[in-house]
Structure 1
Amino acid sequence: MNRMGVTGLPVVKVVRAILIFSLFTSPAQARDNTATVGQADKKPVSANIIKTEIFAKPGHFGNPKISPDGERVVYRQQLGGKPYLTAARLYSDTKKRIAIPDNVDLLWYRWAGNHKILFSVSAVVDTSRGQRRHTGLYVTDVNSGASITLGRKTQGYDGDNVLYVDPTGTYILLSMQRSIYDYPAVYRIELENNEITRVIRRQSQIWTWIADNSGVVRMGLSQIGGTLKIHYRRAAGEKFRQIGKIKEKDDLEEALLDISHIVSEADEGYVLSNKKTGRFALYKFNYLTREVGEMVFGHDENDITGFNLNDSGTALESVYFTDSRDRIKWFDADLAEHQRKLDKALPGQEAWIQSKSRDGKRMIVYVTSSTDPGSYYLYEPELKKLAWFASLNDKLDTEKLARTEYVKYDARDGTTIPAYLTLPKNRPAENLPLVILPHGGPFGVRDTLDYNTEAQFLANRGYAVLQPNYRGSDSYGEAFYKKGSGEIGRAMQDDLDDGMDWLVGRGMVDPDRVCIVGGSYGGYAALWGVTRNPERYRCAASFAGVTDWDKQLSYDGRFLRSRYEREWQDEIRGDEEFDLDTVSPARLVAQLERPILLAHGKKDSTVPFSQFKFYRSELEKAGKDAEYIVYESEGHGFSDSENEKDWLDKLEAFLNRHNPAY
C-alpha cells in the first residue's frame, strides 16, 4: 500500500507490525515515533508465490471502535487461539482484555458510554424441537474489569435486540421475549447490575419495536396474515395507536420495513423506500400520515442500503450504498470535508471513517482496496494528523497481488449478472483454469471490490477467479432481488454456470478445468454445483456450507430473510409445493460424481456443525469421494490464523489433485 501524505494532512507512520501499537504508549514516546511522510503460461517462479502463512491473517486484529470521549479504542483480536476484545487507552500502555466465553461466536460489540463495552454472542442450543440458534448480551466495565450477562434468566432465542444505548452507559433498552411462546416486550436494563424494568408491555402480534435516538420507543410493527400494522406515538407520555394497515402487496410494504432510525421528538423523518423507482432510495417521511415525501438521495442503478442520523438523532448525517464498491454520502458538511481530505491523502484506496469520538476530534479510519486487506488510522483533524497504527496483514507484498475487475455478463434468461473477476498476474488470459467463488447469504449480501483472501490466494496460485453477484444479491433493486426469490438451487445456480460459459466464450477459461469453492451459502452452491452439474465442475470445496435446507431453516428461520420478504418460505420455496430436498446436497448424495472437500467449525452457530455431520454420514454410507476437515475451535469463519492456513493449504492441495493450475 502506498502511504502518501498531502500538504496540511500528513500521514504519520507509527508502526509496521500488527499488534505492536505505538499509539498505545506514553505521549512522549508517541511524539518520538512521529515522522511526516512526503509523498506466458508457465508456472510462476517461487519468488512470485506468496506463502500461505502470509495470506492467513496474522493476529486476526480488526474492527477498532473509538470511545465517545476519544480516549480509548476497543478492537477484536486473537491470542493463543482464543478470541478477545481488547480496550486500549490511546497514547498509553494501559490495556484491558475481555475473554469471549467458550463455545460462542462473537457477533458485534460497541461502546456504552466511555467505560463500558457491550457485546453480543451467539451459540447453538439443544431444545426439545432440535438445535436452535440463541443470542445473548454481555457488558464489561473496562475500569473495574467486571463483566455481567444481561437479560432474563429465561427468555426467547433472541437476547441481543438492543433498541437504544444510553450515552452515559447507564442503561440499554432491550426488546425481549419472556419465552419462545411470547411476544417481545421492551425492558430497561441497568448496565451496572442487570436490574430489569419493563417499559413497554408485550402486545399481541407486535414483533418489532423501534426507538428514537433519545431512548423513546416510538413504533411497533405487527403482522397478521399478509397485513402489516403500524402502531405509533410521538412522545413517551402518549399511548400507541394504530395508524395504518399495509397489505402484503401494498407499495409501502418494503419502505415500512426499513424505518431503522426515527428522528427524535418529531413526526417527520426519513425512510428507505423503493416505491417510486423499484430501487431503495432515501425519502422524507411522515410517520403519522405514512406519507412518502421528496427524495433526499437515490442512485440510478443500486439501492441505498442504509442511513445514519447524527448522535442526537435530530439530523441526517450520511447515507451509504454500493455500486462497484462501497460508498458513503455525507450530509454533515464537516464530515464531508474530512472525507475529501482523506480521499486526497490516500489515492486509489477506499477510506472509511469507521468510528469517531462524540466531539469529532478523533476518528478511526479504515483504508482498503482489492489488493490491500486494510489498515487502520487514527485521524485527528485539529492536529492535521493521520496516524497509521495497525494493518490487517502488513506482510503481504501487494505488488504480487492481482487487480480485481468489476464485470457484467448475461445469464441465459437475459438477466444481467454483475461479478468480480480476478486474473492471475503474469499469465495470458487464455484457457485459464477457473474457480467460481460464490458469496454467502444469499440474500442481503453481495461481493464488492474489497480485498478477498481466497480470491487473491487462488489467483496467486494461477487460477482465474469469478465472484458472481447472482440474482437475489443485495443492493441491485427489487426486480433483481425478485428474480432470485424462490430460486435457490435453480436460477441462482444457473447464474454461476452462465458466468463460466461467458468466460469460456471469451476464450479466457478452459471449460474442462473448472471447480467451485465457497463458504456458508457459497459452500452450499459449491456442493450443489457438482451434484447438479458434474459435467461442468471437476470438484467442489465447501467451508460451513448448508447441506440440508429443511434442517437449516428449522434451526434458524431467519437465515434467508431480507429487506424484501418477512417469511423465509418466499425466499427459498417460491412455489409452496416445492420440495426442499430436491435442492439439498445431503438428500441427493447418490447423484454426486465429483470429489468434494468438506470443512466446518464445531462452534458454528450460523450453520450448525450438525449440517456437516449429517452430510458426512450420508456421503460415507454412499461411499463417495470426499475429504473432511473439522476445526474444533472455529465458528462461522476463521479466528485462528493457523486454522486459516490449514484450510488454504488443504484447499490448494485438493485443487492440485483435481484441477491443477498448470
Structure 2
Amino acid sequence: MFAKPFYAALFASLCALAGTPAAWAADAPPATAAPAPATPGARIPIEHFFDSTSFSGAILSPDGRRLAVRVAPPGQRVRLAVLELASMQVKVVAFFSDADVNTFRWVNDQRLVFDLADRQLAQGALRYGAGLYAVNADGGNYRQLVTRNESRQNKRAILMLPWNTYLLQSIGDQQSDDVFVVQPDFTRPGEIHDLALLRLNTSTGISRTVAQPAGARNWLFDKQGQLRIAQAPDGGNEVTYYRDSAEAPWRVLARFDAYHGGKDAFSPAFFAPDGTLYVHARHGSDKQALYRYDLEKNRIDDTPLAASADFDVHAEMLGANDRLLGLRYETDAQTTQWLDEKMQALQKQVNGMLPMSINSLSTGWRSATPFILVRSVSDTMPVTYYLFNSDTASLSVLGSAHPAILPSQMANKDLRHYQARDGLDIPAWLTLPKGQVKMRPMVVLVHGGPWVRNSWDWDAESQFLASRGYVVLEPEYRGSTGYGEHHFKAGWKQWGLKMQDDIADGARWAIAQGIADPRRICIAGASYGGYATLMGLINDPDLYRCGIDWLGVTDIDLLRNGSWGGYSNVSEHYRQYGMPVLIGDPVKDAAQFKATSPLQQAARITQPLLLAYGSADQRVPLPHGRQFYDAVRKTNAQVEWVEYATEGHGWALPATRVDFWQRVEKFLDRNIGPGSASQ
C-alpha cells in the first residue's frame, strides 16, 4: 500500500526554512511552487527538461534512524536536511546564501560531512573551492574543515585545511568522527603532481597523514577504515600495492599495462565486511565480471560472483555491518543481485508496487529500523525517491528530480541491435515519439567520451527531442565501454573511420526498418559526439541533412598539442601513454589524423550546421570551435555560431541549457521538422 503523502507537509516546512541554523540562513525569497506539469496534448516547456534538479539525493544513516536529503525549492539554493524517521520531523542543517550543498554523506549515526558547489555560476566564473563542512543531525557541532579559497587572512582559516583538500568517498567503519581526504599538488591547473592522503577528524579538525606508496592515485579501504590497497602509475603501467594491516609493509600485488591490460589483469573493487577482496577482471573472457581474489595464493577465483553474457559488470557492494548483502551494477539497466534472502523478498515486494521502474533499495549499514530507501527511475520517469517501511509494507514518495515531468507524456526507449558493414554487432538506444513512428524525422545523437556508454533511464536530451516529434537513435559504436573487450578495442585508432561507419550504418538501419525518413536525418552530439557530427557530415553528405555540434573536438592534433592558444586539461600522462593507444600516434598516424580532421576538411561540409562552444572549456578549449567556424563559413553560409561566456565542458546553467535547446528546436524545425522544405 502507498502511505498518505505526509511528506508534502514536511517538505513544505523544509522549503520555508523551518529550523534553518541562523548562521547559514540567507535572506532568501519565499519558497515557490514547482512548475506545473504540461497539460496533456500541449507542448512540454523546454524548462521542464533542463531545469536544475529539485530533489537530488537521499542517504539513510548507518543505523537507519535518519534520512539526509539534498533539496532545492524552485529558484533557491540547494540545502541539506535531516528527517528523523521515528517522529517524521525534518530539520534543515546546512543552507548557504552563496553556494549549494553538493556531495554529502554520513560520517556516523549522528554526523554528516558535505562540500559545496555553485549552481548559479558556470565554470569560468567560479571563484571558490568546494570547501568541506561537518554538522550533526540536529544541526549542532557545525564546523568548517577546509577553506574555500587560497586566502589565509582569516585567523579561523589557520585551523582549516587548504582549499585543495577534497573528500574521499570511502565508507570506513562509520563509527568514528573520521573521514579521509586527499590534497592534490598541482604543478599546473589540471595536472596532478602528487596526492597527500589524510585522515581528518570532523569534530576537532585535526588531521594526520596516512602512509602510502609514492605516487598513489587510487585507494581501497577495508570495513575497519584501514587503507589496504593503493594504485600508482609507473610510466605506462599501473601498479597495485597491498598490505595485510596498518602495520604491515606494502608489497606489489600486480603490475599491468594501464591501457592494454593483460590476460591476468584486474582492478580492485572492494573489501567485503568479512575482509574478502573482490576484483573486476575479464579472466580469459570478453566480458568483465566480479571475482573473489585469494590474497594468500595471489590469484583470482575461477567462478565469478557476478557476471553477464552481454555486458561488462562493474559492481558496487551492498553490505551490512557483518556480511555482504548484494551487488549493484549496470547491464542494459541498473541491476541489483541480492545475496540475502530477506532483501530478495523486499525487492520483489517493492517491484510489485512500482512495476514500471528500476527500483534500487538501500539500507543503513547497520540498520536497526524497518526503513528502506528506494531510488526509482525508468525511461519515462526521472529519478524519484521513496521510503519503504518493511513492517507496514507502506511506500511514501519523498521527491522527484524533475517534478514537472509526467511519465505519461514521455517516450519509450529501447535497446536495439544492428550489424555494422564489417559484421560487428552494434547496440543502439532507440527513442520513439508517441504516435505514428513510421518514416519520422530522426536525430542521430552521438554520445561523447568516446569510451563511455548510455543506459536505460530518463534522459533530458533524447526525451526533449522525442517530445518535438523526432526519433532519436543513440548508437553504442565500437569503442563504447560496457559491451566487452572486443567491442571496446575495435574502436582503437578508429576516430573518423570505423567508429564513424558504425554511426552511419545505424542511420541506414533505421531507414531500412521504415523508422526514419531518409530525407530528414540530422546528426548531433557533444565533445567526441560533436567530432563525430562533423565527420558524419564530411563522410556521408547524402545521409545527413544537417548537423549540431556542441563542445566538439575539431582536430586530433589540436586536442593533443595544447589546443593552440587555449588551455587544455588533458593530462600529460594521457597524451604520452593513452592517446597513442586509443586514438593514434602523432608521427606514425599523422596522415590518418589529417584525413580525419574536421578542421582540415571543413570545406567539404555544405549542410546546415549549428555550432555551440563555451569560452571557459578546458577539455575542448574554445579554439576548437573558433578555428573551425572561421574555416567552414568561408564555403558554407548555413552555419550558426553561439558562444556561451564562462561555460565549460557542458552547460552548467539552466539558462544556457534552455537557450541552447531553443536554438536546437528552431534549427531542427527549419531543416528536418515541420518547417523544412522536405516536409
Are the equivalent residues in 2 in contact too, given 1:234–1:265 (CA < 8 A)?
no
SS of the residue corresponding to residue 221 of structure 1 reads strand
- 1:395 and 2:391 matched: no
Q: Percent identity?
A: 25
Indicate the residue corresponding to 2:377 in structure 1: 368
Query: Which residue, 19, 41, 60 being the options, matches 1:66?
Result: 60
Query: Using a 3 Å threshold, how does the CA distance of structure 1 residues 400 and 610 change in structure 2: closer, same or farther?
Result: same
Query: Using a 3 Å threshold, how does the CA distance of structure 1 residues 557 and 290 change in structure 2: closer, same or farther?
Result: farther
Whole-angstrom distance in 2 between the partners of 1:288 and 1:616? 60
Query: Which residue, 199, 214, 217 being the options, matches 2:210?
Result: 199
- What displacement does 1:611 show? 4.9
Whole-angstrom distance in 2 between the partners of 1:393 and 1:434? 26
Are the equivalent residues in 2 in contact too, given 1:309–1:315 (CA < 8 A)?
no
Query: Using a 3 Å threshold, how does the CA distance of structure 1 residues 260 and 282 change in structure 2: closer, same or farther?
Result: closer
Query: Which residue, 582, 600, 607 being the options, matches 1:594?
Result: 607
Query: Which residue, 351, 354, 363 being the options, matches 1:343?
Result: 351
Whole-angstrom distance in 2 between the partners of 1:334 and 1:271? 26
Number of positions where the alignment pairs a residue of Structure 1 with one of Structure 2? 619
Amino acid at match of 1:478: E
Query: Which residue, 628, 632, 645 being the options, matches 2:658?
Result: 645
Whole-angstrom distance in 2 between the partners of 1:350 and 1:72? 21
Indicate the residue corresponding to 1:578 in structure 2: 589
Are the equivalent residues in 2 in contact too, given 1:16–1:394 (CA < 8 A)?
no
- What displacement does 1:345 show? 0.9
Indicate the residue corresponding to 2:112 in structure 1: 116
Query: Is there any run of 5+ residues in structure 1 with no aligned partner, and where?
Result: 27-44, 127-133
Amino acid at match of 1:489: G
Whole-angstrom distance in 2 between the partners of 1:521 and 1:545? 6
Are the equivalent residues in 2 in contact too, given 1:368–1:451 (CA < 8 A)?
yes
Query: Which residue, 126, 133, 138 being the options, matches 1:139?
Result: 133
Of residues 108-117 and 598-607 in structure 1, the stretch that sits farther from structure 2 once superposed is 598-607
Cα-Cα RMSD: 4.1
SS of the residue corresponding to residue 343 of structure 1 reads helix
- 1:92 and 2:89 matched: yes
Indicate the residue corresponding to 2:565 in structure 1: none
Amino acid at match of 2:641: Y
Are the equivalent residues in 2 in contact too, given 1:437–1:467 (CA < 8 A)?
yes
Indicate the residue corresponding to 1:217 in structure 2: 227
Amino acid at match of 1:486: K
Amino acid at match of 2:358: E
The structure with higher relative contact order (CA 8 Å, sep 6+) is 1
TM-score w.r.t. the length of structure 2 is 0.79
Are the equivalent residues in 1 in contact too, given 2:579–2:585 (CA < 8 A)?
no
Indicate the residue corresponding to 2:26 in structure 1: none
- 1:51 and 2:45 matched: yes
Are the equivalent residues in 2 in contact too, given 1:19–1:390 (CA < 8 A)?
no
Are the equivalent residues in 1 in contact too, given 2:316–2:329 (CA < 8 A)?
no
Of residues 12-21 and 507-516 in structure 1, the stretch that sits farther from structure 2 once superposed is 12-21
Are the equivalent residues in 2 in contact too, given 1:271–1:285 (CA < 8 A)?
yes
TM-score w.r.t. the length of structure 1 is 0.81
Indicate the residue corresponding to 1:497 in structure 2: 504
Q: Deviations over 1:337-379 (max 9, x none)?
A: 2211111111122112256464164333122221222322122
Whole-angstrom distance in 1 between the partners of 2:449 and 2:663? 24
- 1:658 and 2:671 matched: yes
Whole-angstrom distance in 2 between the partners of 1:639 and 1:609? 16
Whole-angstrom distance in 2 between the partners of 1:491 and 1:583? 11
Whole-angstrom distance in 2 between the partners of 1:581 and 1:196? 52
Are the equivalent residues in 1 in contact too, given 2:122–2:647 (CA < 8 A)?
no
Indicate the residue corresponding to 2:305 in structure 1: 296
Indicate the residue corresponding to 1:438 in structure 2: 446
Indicate the residue corresponding to 2:513 in structure 1: 506
Are the equivalent residues in 2 in contact too, given 1:528–1:583 (CA < 8 A)?
yes
Whole-angstrom distance in 2 between the partners of 1:97 and 1:52? 31
- What displacement does 1:390 show? 1.6
- What displacement does 1:606 show? 5.5
Indicate the residue corresponding to 2:531 in structure 1: 524
**Structure 2 matches for 1:297-316, cutoff 5 A?**
297-308=306-317, 310-312=319-321, 315-316=323-324
Query: Using a 3 Å threshold, how does the CA distance of structure 1 residues 250 and 608 change in structure 2: closer, same or farther?
Result: closer
- 1:410 and 2:419 matched: yes
Whole-angstrom distance in 1 between the partners of 2:97 and 2:581? 36
Are the equivalent residues in 2 in contact too, given 1:417–1:470 (CA < 8 A)?
yes
- What displacement does 1:381 show? 2.0
Whole-angstrom distance in 2 between the partners of 1:381 and 1:400? 32
SS of the residue corresponding to residue 536 of structure 2 reads helix
Whole-angstrom distance in 2 between the partners of 1:156 and 1:253? 40
- What displacement does 1:206 show? 4.2
Query: Which residue, 332, 335, 338 being the options, matches 1:324?
Result: 332
Indicate the residue corresponding to 2:153 in structure 1: none
Whole-angstrom distance in 2 between the partners of 1:620 and 1:637? 24
Are the equivalent residues in 2 in contact too, given 1:138–1:150 (CA < 8 A)?
yes
Whole-angstrom distance in 2 between the partners of 1:647 and 1:516? 16
Q: Deviations over 1:404-424 (max 9, x none)?
A: 222100011111111121222
Q: Deviations over 1:300-347 (max 9, x none)?
A: 1211122315254x6433223333322111123332222111111111
Indicate the residue corresponding to 2:154 in structure 1: none
Query: Using a 3 Å threshold, how does the CA distance of structure 1 residues 259 and 135 change in structure 2: closer, same or farther?
Result: farther
Of residues 289-298 and 189-198 in structure 1, the stretch that sits farther from structure 2 once superposed is 189-198
Of residues 139-148 and 469-478 in structure 1, the stretch that sits farther from structure 2 once superposed is 139-148
Query: Using a 3 Å threshold, how does the CA distance of structure 1 residues 195 and 571 change in structure 2: closer, same or farther?
Result: farther
Indicate the residue corresponding to 1:277 in structure 2: 285
Are the equivalent residues in 1 in contact too, given 2:17–2:92 (CA < 8 A)?
no
Amino acid at match of 2:106: W
Query: Is there any run of 5+ residues in structure 2 with no aligned partner, and where?
Result: 19-38, 151-160, 563-567
Are the equivalent residues in 1 in contact too, given 2:290–2:314 (CA < 8 A)?
no
Whole-angstrom distance in 1 between the partners of 2:344 and 2:621? 43
Are the equivalent residues in 2 in contact too, given 1:24–1:88 (CA < 8 A)?
no
Q: Deviations over 1:272-317 (max 9, x none)?
A: 11013221112121234321113222111211122315254x6433
- What displacement does 1:486 show? 2.4
Whole-angstrom distance in 1 between the partners of 2:115 and 2:236? 35
- What displacement does 1:481 show? 1.0
- What displacement does 1:546 show? 3.6
Whole-angstrom distance in 2 between the partners of 1:633 and 1:125? 6
Whole-angstrom distance in 1 between the partners of 2:603 and 2:570? 28
Query: Using a 3 Å threshold, how does the CA distance of structure 1 residues 521 and 182 change in structure 2: closer, same or farther?
Result: closer
